[in-house]
Amino acid sequence: MQLERPAPSAPPVLADLYGGQRVVVTGARGFLGRAVCAQLDRAGATVLPLGRAELDLLDRSAVKARLRALRPEVVVHCAVDGGGLGWMRDHPVESGLNNVLINVHVLEGAHEAGARAFLGAGSACAYPRICPVPFVEDDLWQGYPEPTNGPYAQSKRVLLDLCRAYHAQHGFFAMTPLLANLYGPGDHLDPGRAHVVAALLQRVIRLPAGAPLEVWGTGTPTRELLYIDDAAEGLLSCLALSEPAVLNLGTGMEHSIAALAQAVLDAADHSGALVFDPTKPDGQPRKCLSTARAEALLGWRARTPLAEGLRAAVTWYRAAEPPR
C-alpha cells in the first residue's frame, strides 16, 4: 500500500490541535466520552459536554438546535446505544436503528452548525466476520460483520461512509476511526451492558478466594484490547491529518479470550481456575487490527501494556463496586 505522506517523527500534540477551541463531546458521561473530555481539558480546549441529561440525540431537531447554539469548532461524537455481546444479540433493533439515528443527527448537526471538523468513534466490529488478520482498512467492505452484533456494526459503517460523503461533497473534515475493544478505569458497572474485559473484571472481584471464573464461550476467539486513555488520545490525534482517512486505532496485538481471562485473574491476584461455558456465544472468531496506517500517517502508537492497564482497571473496579 502506498502511503499518502511520510511518517511524522512524533505523534500530534493535542494542545496544538485543540488549545482555545470550542469542542462539543457527545456521550460525555460515558466511558470513552469522559476520557476524551479529560484529554481536551489538559489540551486547553473549551469543552462543551453533552450527555443524556442534556440532550436526546434521537431528536433530530433538538440536536441541530443545540449544536447551533453551542457553536462548536470541533464535534467529537462518543455517544452510543450499546453494550456487550449478549445485549447486542438481544437488542438488534436498538443497537442498529438507534445508533444510525444518533450518528446521522450529530454528523448532520455538526456540519450545519458550522463546525470545522467532526470525529466519531468507530469500532473494529465493523470489519467482516471472516477477514484476513490483522485487519487492514482496505478490507473493511469485503463481507458482512459478525451477525451477533451485525446491526450495530452496520451503523458504524453507515457513519463512516457518510463521513466520506460529507468530505467529498462539502469539504467537511469528518472521519470515524475504527477502535479496538476498549478497557480500563471507568468502564461499565452494568453487567448487562459490559464488554468482555469489564464483564470479566466484575466477575473476578466478586469471587470468593480460589473460586473459578466463568468465561463465556470456548475461550478460543481472539480480541485486541485498547486502553481507554490511549483510545481517547488516538481519536483526538486524527484532527492532525491533512484530510480524513479510514484508520485503525489499536495495539496490533491479539489475545485469545482464554489468555485474556487469565491475565484478568493475574491482575486481580486471584488464584481460581477458568471455566468456559460453550453454550454462550463466542462472537467474531478473531479480531486484531493493523496499526501500520496510523503509525505512518500520525506517528501514533498505543502506549499502555495490557498488564498495566488491567491492574489500573482492577483498582478502579474495586473502588467503584458497591459492597455486597
Chain-centroid distance, C-alpha 129 = 18
Asked if 81 contacts 39 with a C-beta cutoff of 8 angstroms, the reply is no
Q: Where are the alpha helices (DSSP H) in 59-170?
A: 60-70, 85-90, 92-93, 99-112, 150-170
Report the alpha-carbon distance of residue 50 to residue 62 in Å, rounded: 12
User: Checking DSSP bridges between strand 255-256 and strand 222-223, what pairing results, if any?
Assistant: antiparallel
Residue linked to cell 433493533:
93
**Annotated active-site residue in 18, 127, 152, 183:** 152
317 catalytic residue (yes or no): no
Query: 324, exposed or middle or buried, with CB in 10 Å at 0-12, 13-18, 19+?
Result: exposed
Let me know: does 232 contact 36? Beta carbons within 8 Å: yes
> Residue 310: what residue type?
L
CA distance from start to end of the chain: 54
Contact partners, residue 15, CB within 8 Å, separation at least 6: 42, 43, 44
DSSP conformation letters of 248-290: EES----EEHHHHHHHHHHHTT--PPEEEETTS---SS---B-
Instruction: Look up cell 459490559; give the residue.
Output: 194
175 forms beta bridges with 119
Write the CA distances from 190 to 27, 61, 195, 308, integer angstroms: 16, 31, 10, 23
Catalytic residue numbers? 152
